[in-house]
Structure 1
Amino acid sequence: MRLRALSKLSTAIVLVTTSATAFAADQAEQPEAGGSASSLEEIVVTAQRRAENLQKAAIAITAVSADTLTRAAVTDTTALTRVAPALQIGTLSGPTTQFYVRGVGKFTANSLTDSAVSVNLDGVPLARDGAIQGLFYDLERVEVLKGPQGTLYGRNATGGAINLISVKPRIGELSGYLNAEYGNYDAVRVSGAVNAPLGENTAIRVASTFSNRDGYYTDGTGDDRLRAVRVQLTTAATEDLKLTVGGDFSHVGGKGPGATVQGLDRDKYIGMYDPRAGAVISTKFAPLSGSFLTPITGRPYSDNTYWGLYAQADLNVGDGTLTVIPAYREAKLRYESAGSSFPILGNLDAKQTSIEARYASDSDKPLSYILGGFFLAERPTETPAFNQQVFSAYGTFKSKTDSYAGFVRVTYKLSDTLRLSGGVRYTVDKKSAYLDAYNIVVICPSFLAGGPACIGTPPLPNVATVPSQFVLPNGDAIPVQLWGTSGAIVTNTRAINTPKRTFKKATYRVGFEYDAAPQSLIYGGYETGFKSGGFFNSLDNPVYQPETIDAFTLGSKNRFLDNRLQLNLELFWWTYKNQQVSHFRQNSVGGSEFVTENIGKTRLRGFEIESRALIASGTTLSATVQYLDSRNLDYVYNNPIQSGPPNTGCPVSVSGAAFIVNCNGRRAVNAPVWSVNGGIEQVIDLGNSGTITLNADGRYQSSTFTGFEQLPAMREPENLIIDLQAQYALPGGHFTIAGYVNNLTDKAVSGFSTPHPFSGSYIIQNLRPPRTYGVRMGYKF
């Protein structure tokens, strides 16, 4: 039934596109009315480290303009899923965000692992997933690069890259804007910017945003408390030198992201701290402790601060431009969240210093190139506390990363229409860490031996540091002691690791570009990607190895009918090797560890079709269809047999002292077969009375697993989300007022799910926003 429905949807899109082509042909010679657009907009991107028209960029990329970001209410990273079908984003505990591009991504929950999708702000990579909040304001555009970016972006871009491009100061211009919004959940959002000249050759831009919104969940979580400001100054010091310096600061408060327990009515967004969730949790039995879990206690909160400084110098040298971007960023995170099925008390201080220098030759020459070097130093310090009631971990993680890279990208014009390109990057990641963690486990010896349970065993306390009753005065762990009066005991082990590794890898790209017509580009390429290995704290081997990806791409970008019809097609075939997977796993002594391990090979292949059609002077249709065929080809891992059968939806067998989990043939996680975005925009010109703009956008996604374990309850069914907006603008566009509704049908959709490590039938779901609606007003000068 789903395939038939999808077939009808795809057929409808084809018919709409075909009709648009025919209608645009009929209208091509007709005069435009009232100054309405007579062609599709042109978007300039810098994804390949040069400014170029999006339709001339020979890469797989989605670029989203500022107007689209506003209409789609993209105010944080999770909302990018609304405008980029290839991108799947989920919010975990606290500020942690997971990114997946076509099934390539990473469940990252602490400072010891890296994302597989690189996020960059104005050319500066953001090393920590938890350090990317509070940046979605006063943006010129967002670029989503699909597939490995092994030459120009390098490490931690196996899945792709997300570029946030802020609006830069404009020399000689006095301008600005102020936007205000009010919506349900008592949502108040105000943002604005002022651009002012400072003499003939210098300008300053100050932008800020403020937002307050009540939580979507019944316990108050899922709220929004953001304060942010960004200041940038640009000067054209000489005819050949342009310098931009900037800084930003943001604070994210409130209660933070939320989740609900699978089995409750998720349409009601019942939060983890709600007594109704506690009643369900109390029915879940934990075999290790021989007792039932208890409701989650604590106080969810976020107190996260981010700031950074950067500069960009562009110097015309000879027949090219030398660009240097030094930057420094810090994030200070303090939070408690139960978004991973149990409370996590997070405490992270992350500092990073980076510099990139590159020389880009004149692209008009037969031979053009980009030559550069990159350095990143990252120093995160984290002291997390994980409380799973029958297991608690208290860690001190101090890690150090020094990453060096050199790269070159070359394009040679064989003729006026055919170009060949190639590139290589060599990366050296030097990593070391001090890892110290207590692992406290509640055990019911009688129940594990086949005897009576230990009903009534109290949970471990939910505190930020290891309780004094479990350690000796010198800090050593007390190995065993009684716990409660039910016959349970507590064991405590302390693992200290000081791993040190250097990971090296050369990644490369080869490709071609062919101008089949003035407005038609055919391109293809093969590119490799690399993400270095790292560490986790464990009683066993705490090192995981790098992951790699090989990607073939063949695409075509086209504009027809005097820029009134756009039709782009991309075919891709990726092979994902040694994928790094992070999950909770019990160790050989019965404790729970958050491990990262390498798992075999995954194949991802499919196509994406993107179309836009200006079928009349004020009517634009758009549609993007992605088909993704993903298969785990070598996806096998094991659990110690002492810890009991693993909680998984994949087949399990026993070999020696281990359970073998075999997920071969399964689809990749966060990889729906079909992702479809479609929309229509109607501009009604009222002449001297202004304009009305109507927008309707829809997003369809077929079913997919949203968690590593691939349990049946973790399969998210197909869903369709519809957004509507109506906007009125006074003549000249200086004042606008709009009404909007997002998620019209109030569909609850899970972006991430995970089971409790010690009670497999207890699964939580992190939900995307419910129906929101409100009014926006804007003034610009």
Structure 2
Amino acid sequence: AAIPFLDFINTQDTESLAFFVQGSYHVSDRLRLTAGVRRTDDDKTNTQTITNNISPGKCFDLKLQNDWQEMTYKLSADFDVSESVMVYGSYAKGYKSGGFNTGSCNNAFDPETVAAYEVGLKSTLADGRLRLNLAAYNYDYQDFQARLFINNASLVENATDVTNTGFEAEFVWVPVDAVQIDGGVSFMKSEFEEFMSDDPMDPPELVDLEGNQTLRAPDVSYSVGLQFTHVFEQGADITFRYEAAYKDDYYTAVFNNDFARIDSHTLQSVRVISNVNNRWELTGFIENVTDEELLENILPSATIGGTIGVWSPPRLWGLQLRYRME
């Protein structure tokens, strides 16, 4: 006899209303204070129907509704140390509404909130030839919406607490008119403080994920770019640019399984950009110059009883032609 097919219909309706107000006050010529508040109301309805269900006991008619209200706010201060250096600090409370996982019976998840602290510096130095920005931050998430891949489906579960602490720096330096050197570096620690969940690759016990790295959160990443521009008298110019970007190893599964670890890697690219009278632009490019073989995503698969992976693009080259209309 023929195997009955599974007909699955899922509909989600979302209504979101928000009101916000924000204002700034100049305490002095050098000090500015900013405050803002936002009220958000979200209402979501999830309806799913499964016909010809071949799995007895599973839900096949389900309608769920929920609504959430949240007040969020921001406080910040900017201070001009000099005409070329500004320091700042901010605190903000953020919110992401809850929702429903499609294709699951007990499929609701709660809203996520975050308390975000940041201090930093923005500067323009060396007679305008060097721009340097620094920032340190700490994000404390409550009911963090962690994404899992279980039984060939992407689901969201709430983790009790997640912290994300880091430091970032970026710069653009123009030592002479024809040369630009730019780059950035990020040091980050993003991990679960409290989270218990079922690992589909090691059932049926709950796994304590405290201390595990969150998804795609390398401890260290940096990039550097070098470009040279030559300007012709006829109103044309040509730019040669090289870029390299490094990422430390990271995980594509919250369980930090060995199979879900993406090794550290560096990707490089080059571009040659020709511009004529700011109208015509011809760009030649090569992405992934060294043709690195890199898996960018690895997930468990219930179908094959193993894992599936997604490769990042190989070496890619091409030409782009653009015309800017007046």
Q: Above 0.5 in TM-score?
A: yes
After superposing on structure 2, the runs of 4+ consecutive aligned residues of structure 1 that deviate more than 4 Å are: 537-540, 592-595
Q: In 2 relative to 1, CA 733–409 (structure 1 residues): closer, same or farther, beyond 3 Å?
A: closer
Cα offsets for 1:173-198 (capped at 9, x unmatched)? xxxxxxxxxxxxxxxxxxxxxxxxxx
Matches of 2:264 and 2:124 in 1, distance apart?
A: 32
If the length of structure 2 is used for normalisation, what is the TM-score?
Answer: 0.90
Q: In 2 relative to 1, CA 594–714 (structure 1 residues): closer, same or farther, beyond 3 Å?
A: closer
Are the counterparts in 1 of residues 170 and 183 from structure 2 also a CA contact under 8 Å? yes
Any idea what SS the aligned residue of 2:293 has?
coil
Is 1:529 aligned to residue 94 of structure 2? Answer: yes
Are the counterparts in 2 of residues 424 and 507 from structure 1 also a CA contact under 8 Å? yes
Are the counterparts in 2 of residues 743 and 770 from structure 1 also a CA contact under 8 Å? yes
Matches of 1:566 and 1:675 in 2, distance apart?
A: 20
Which residue type is aligned with residue 283 of structure 2?
Answer: A
Any idea what SS the aligned residue of 1:671 has?
coil
In the alignment, what sits opposite 2:85?
A: 520
Matches of 2:267 and 2:189 in 1, distance apart?
A: 23
Are the counterparts in 1 of residues 212 and 255 from structure 2 also a CA contact under 8 Å? no
If the length of structure 1 is used for normalisation, what is the TM-score?
Answer: 0.39
Is 1:739 aligned to residue 284 of structure 2? Answer: yes
In the alignment, what sits opposite 1:424?
A: 37
Q: 2:50 aligns with which of 429, 434, 437?
A: 437
Is 1:696 aligned to residue 242 of structure 2? Answer: yes
Is 1:767 aligned to residue 287 of structure 2? Answer: no
Structure 1 position 767, deviation (Å):
2.5
Is 1:624 aligned to residue 168 of structure 2? Answer: no
Matches of 2:77 and 2:98 in 1, distance apart?
A: 32
Matches of 1:545 and 1:671 in 2, distance apart?
A: 23
Cα offsets for 1:202-247 (capped at 9, x unmatched)? xxxxxxxxxxxxxxxxxxxxxxxxxxxxxxxxxxxxxxxxxxxxxx
1:173-572 → structure 2 map (5 Å cutoff) = 394-437=7-50, 471=52, 477=53, 493-536=58-101, 541-572=106-137
In the alignment, what sits opposite 1:755?
A: 300
Matches of 2:37 and 2:275 in 1, distance apart?
A: 49
Matches of 2:104 and 2:114 in 1, distance apart?
A: 30
Matches of 2:103 and 2:297 in 1, distance apart?
A: 25
Matches of 2:90 and 2:300 in 1, distance apart?
A: 40
Q: In 2 relative to 1, CA 396–620 (structure 1 residues): closer, same or farther, beyond 3 Å?
A: same
Q: 1:607 aligns with which of 129, 152, 167?
A: 167
Any idea what SS the aligned residue of 1:517 has?
coil
In the alignment, what sits opposite 1:258?
A: none
Which residue type is aligned with residue 697 of structure 1?
Answer: E
Matches of 1:413 and 1:426 in 2, distance apart?
A: 25
C-alpha RMSD over aligned residues: 2.5
Structure 1 position 577, deviation (Å):
1.7
Q: In 2 relative to 1, CA 736–638 (structure 1 residues): closer, same or farther, beyond 3 Å?
A: closer
In the alignment, what sits opposite 1:647?
A: 201
Q: 2:223 aligns with which of 677, 681, 694?
A: 677
Cα offsets for 1:263-295 (capped at 9, x unmatched)? xxxxxxxxxxxxxxxxxxxxxxxxxxxxxxxxx
Matches of 2:244 and 2:299 in 1, distance apart?
A: 28
Cα offsets for 1:425-446 (capped at 9, x unmatched)? 11111122222235xxxxxxxx
* Greater fraction strand: 2
Which residue type is aligned with residue 620 of structure 1?
Answer: Q
* Greater fraction helix: 1
Residue segments in structure 2 that go unaligned for 5+ positions in a row: none
In the alignment, what sits opposite 2:320?
A: 776
Structure 1 position 584, deviation (Å):
4.6
Matches of 1:394 and 1:431 in 2, distance apart?
A: 23
Q: 2:212 aligns with which of 629, 654, 666?
A: 666
Which residue type is aligned with residue 258 of structure 2?
Answer: P
Matches of 1:740 and 1:582 in 2, distance apart?
A: 35
Structure 1 position 618, deviation (Å):
0.6
Structure 1 position 662, deviation (Å):
1.0
Q: In 2 relative to 1, CA 584–737 (structure 1 residues): closer, same or farther, beyond 3 Å?
A: closer
Structure 1 position 758, deviation (Å):
5.0
Are the counterparts in 1 of residues 148 and 155 from structure 2 also a CA contact under 8 Å? yes
Structure 1 position 493, deviation (Å):
3.5
Are the counterparts in 2 of residues 647 and 709 from structure 1 also a CA contact under 8 Å? no
Are the counterparts in 2 of residues 496 and 537 from structure 1 also a CA contact under 8 Å? no
Q: In 2 relative to 1, CA 593–702 (structure 1 residues): closer, same or farther, beyond 3 Å?
A: closer
Which residue type is aligned with residue 423 of structure 1?
Answer: G
Are the counterparts in 2 of residues 753 and 765 from structure 1 also a CA contact under 8 Å? yes
Structure 1 position 685, deviation (Å):
2.9
Which residue type is aligned with residue 45 of structure 2?
Answer: S
Which structure has the higher relative contact order (CA within 8 Å, separation 6+)? 1
Q: In 2 relative to 1, CA 728–430 (structure 1 residues): closer, same or farther, beyond 3 Å?
A: closer
Any idea what SS the aligned residue of 1:713 has?
helix
Cα offsets for 1:688-733 (capped at 9, x unmatched)? 4843211111111111012344221211111111111123344x34
Which residue type is aligned with residue 605 of structure 1?
Answer: T
In the alignment, what sits opposite 1:178?
A: none
Residue segments in structure 1 that go unaligned for 5+ positions in a row: 1-391, 439-470, 472-476, 480-490, 587-591, 640-645, 653-657
Are the counterparts in 2 of residues 495 and 537 from structure 1 also a CA contact under 8 Å? no
Are the counterparts in 2 of residues 677 and 700 from structure 1 also a CA contact under 8 Å? yes
In the alignment, what sits opposite 1:139?
A: none
How many residues end up aligned between the 2 structures? 322
Matches of 1:560 and 1:478 in 2, distance apart?
A: 69
Are the counterparts in 2 of residues 525 and 552 from structure 1 also a CA contact under 8 Å? yes
Cα offsets for 1:290-346 (capped at 9, x unmatched)? xxxxxxxxxxxxxxxxxxxxxxxxxxxxxxxxxxxxxxxxxxxxxxxxxxxxxxxxx
Which residue type is aligned with residue 431 of structure 1?
Answer: K
Q: In 2 relative to 1, CA 778–405 (structure 1 residues): closer, same or farther, beyond 3 Å?
A: closer
